[in-house]
Amino acid sequence: MLIRCDALSVAYDTSYVLENVTVHIRRGEFVGIVGPSGSGKTSLLKAITGAVPAARGSVEVVRGTRIGYVPQVESVDWNFPITVGEVLAMTRTKRRWPSITRAEREEASHVLESLGLAGVQGRHIRELSGGQQQRVFVARAMFGKPDVLLLDEPTSGVDVRTRHEVLHLLHDLHDKGTTIVLTTHDLNGLASHLPRLVCLNREVIADGPPRETLIPEVLERTYGAPLHVLEHGGMPIVLDHDYEVSEVMRDAARDLRNERKQPR
């Protein structure tokens, strides 16, 4: 077991954001944490990193485990005067000189290249596309050669294309052996594609594969509202409001049009 959260409670001042949460994560797993805003998803990630203390219970991470943390892109100051190369190099704080060494530059190039970001090392972070920006922060985490990657809302505020890019990237990293834990609001675009989901609302409501967790009973307890679930291509689709319904209808209409265009 790489990470063990046992009966974990986390509080800010006197109000608890997590209560009695037990989640165990094995090496090589790919886990999504879902839940409404304020359900304690980010607090759980922060507790794993040690950034917030446990009020009760415990968090144990195997000694020597390197953690890479990828913050929400919305929390990044995109106007900060900094290049992609500097973003990666800043993590190597043990070096007592400002300049980036040749070895560091080559290593950064290698990491960036592996994430499809070749040639951007000298560019300002604002000059990149949404998908590239997200990947730069994954690259920064990867630059520290992490055993486990924690991502806070990796697809929040990004367009559909970027969401696909991020999802493929994470699957690639997982295939190469990185343990991944992420939080997301995106049930259909991201969560339903993951092998294991933890449904959280201050406490763990359910823990298992999407087929067992993205079901109306669990979702109603997690989100506090009735949600419908359809199945499409063997995957659950959660209909949470009109937008999603219309999206499904649009997809269905497009499939129908394509079908009609096919030569008989």
User: Candidates 85-93, 159-167, 182-190, 192-200 — which segment interacts with other proteins by CB under 8 A?
Assistant: 85-93
Q: Residues 158, 163, 169, 172: what is their CA dihedral angle, to the nearest 10 degrees?
A: 160
User: Candidates 16-24, 78-86, 188-196, 233-241 — which segment interacts with other proteins by CB under 8 A?
Assistant: 78-86
How far is Cα 246 from Cα 250, in angstroms, rounded to an integer? 6
How far is Cα 227 from Cα 214, in angstroms, rounded to an integer? 10
For 117-123, the CB contacts below 8 A with 24+ separation are 117/84, 120/84, 121/83, 121/84, 121/85, 121/88, 122/83, 122/84, 122/85, 123/83, 123/84
- Does position 145 bind other proteins by CB under 8 A? no
Q: Which CB sits closer to other proteins, 38 or 224?
A: 38
User: Candidates 25-33, 88-96, 170-178, 206-214 — which segment interacts with other proteins by CB under 8 A?
Assistant: 88-96
Q: Which CB sits closer to other proteins, 46 or 202?
A: 46
- Binding other proteins (rule: CB under 8 A), the pick from 7, 51, 62, 225 is 51
Strand partners, 70: 151
Q: Which CB sits closer to other proteins, 89 or 205?
A: 89
Binding site for other proteins (CB under 8 A): 46, 49-51, 67, 69, 71, 75-77, 79-83, 86-87, 89-93, 95-98, 124, 140, 144
